[in-house]
Amino acid sequence: QKVHVLPQTVLYIADAETFSGHEECHEQKKARKRNSKETAIALEKLLPKRCQVLGLVTPGIVVTPMGSSSNQPQEIEEGEAGFALLFPKIDGVKIHTFHFSKDLKNRVFDESKFAEAGLKNNPDLRVVLLFGYNSWKSGATRFLHQIVNPLNEKSIILAGGQVESFTSLTSENNNAQPGDACGVVGLAFSGPQIQSATVLLDQDVADERTAEAAMQRLKAANIPERNTIGFMFACVGRGYRHYKTKRNMEADAFRKFFPNVPLFGFFGHGEIGCDRIVTGNFVLRECNDIKDDLLHGYTTVMTLIHLGSTK
């Protein structure tokens, strides 16, 4: 007897070439938007109607083919690529999408929207993946700060980056499309069994030795590796250009220390995250009142999310 597990939440990411069939230029923007929407609609027809879907378009992709631990994660900086993560119902875990767009009439963000999205007054909130879009728009950076700063708590791991656009955001409560506005979309992971850790590879991490040292610190967090996903959010200026034409450096370093954890992510236009493991003896930093610096450029954020034990 066949058993089918239906997804409740889907995150899919593809690079711009996959959605447009060509490199974007000013004259092709309208055609690309139309093509992106058609592609998104075709994909969503394959999914259950009540499934939450978040689709992103980025300059490059980080993917573990088929998600198998036997496959090597790949940094695909050029060419067509994409992936979809399908999350079924998981006991003790709640995953939901959210979307905040900049209100042109109000400069101050209404923080009551955080509670509506489950991002405030939620003691089980563990991880928030944040993705800014249309970051080149006037006021986009200021708006991102308005979203990130209230969530900058030691009990919550924040990670993500700036993407080119999002193509889908469907849920029972939110089906808005961005248009030409700027904003933030994302996934929130809640549940007492969720564990997470993150490290930041800054500009000084520029060779195999220092990249592996960062992964060693992530390993020292002792996050269970079964039923765990790795995320890599890197600047478009890193990759083989940063490592002097040596490709796949950071993904290879991750696999060396986490051979059974699939890695996913993208190359984007700015990174969101921090380093929670900074001491010399590889122990987790103690929580204090100092806020983390969460917005970066020319860095890579590596994050582990453990979804609890499986029966």
Q: Note the pLDDT of residue 25.
A: 46
- The two tokens of residue 127 are 């991880």
Is residue 251 a part of any domain in this protein? Answer: yes
Q: Please report, rounded to a whole number, the percentage of residues in the chain having pLDDT higher than 70.
A: 80
Is residue 62 a part of any domain in this protein? Answer: no
Is residue 75 a part of any domain in this protein? Answer: no
Round to whole Å and give the CA distance between 124 and 164: 31
Give 110: exposed, middle or buried? Use CB within 10 Å, 0-12, 13-18, 19+: exposed
Give 258: exposed, middle or buried? Use CB within 10 Å, 0-12, 13-18, 19+: buried
Q: What is the pLDDT of residues 94-126, one digit of tens each?
A: 999 999 988 766 777 788 889 888 899 999 999
Number of structural domains found in the chain: 1
Round to whole Å and give the CA distance between 226 and 219: 13
Is residue 201 a part of any domain in this protein? Answer: yes
DSSP letters along 132-176, please? EE-TTSTTHHHHHHHHHGGG--TTSEEEEEE-SEEEEEE-SS---
Q: What is the pLDDT of residues 204-230, one digit of tens each?
A: 999 999 999 999 999 988 999 999 999
Q: How confident is the model at residue 136 (pLDDT cuts 50, 70, 90)?
A: confident
Round to whole Å and give the CA distance between 169 and 248: 30
Least confident range of 13-17, 161-165, 186-190, 263-267: 13-17
Question: Which residue is listed with tokens 């889907």?
Answer: 10
Domain extent at residue 196:
89-310
Is residue 151 a part of any domain in this protein? Answer: yes
Q: What is the mean pLDDT of residues 61-65?
A: 94
Is residue 272 a part of any domain in this protein? Answer: yes
Query: Considering just the CA atoms, what is the radius of gyration of the chain in Å?
Result: 18
Predicted structure pTM score: 0.87
Is residue 18 a part of any domain in this protein? Answer: no
Is residue 71 a part of any domain in this protein? Answer: no
Round to whole Å and give the CA distance between 43 and 34: 14
List all residues 6 or more positions away from 226 whose beta carbon is below 8 Å from its beta carbon.
Answer: 260, 309, 310
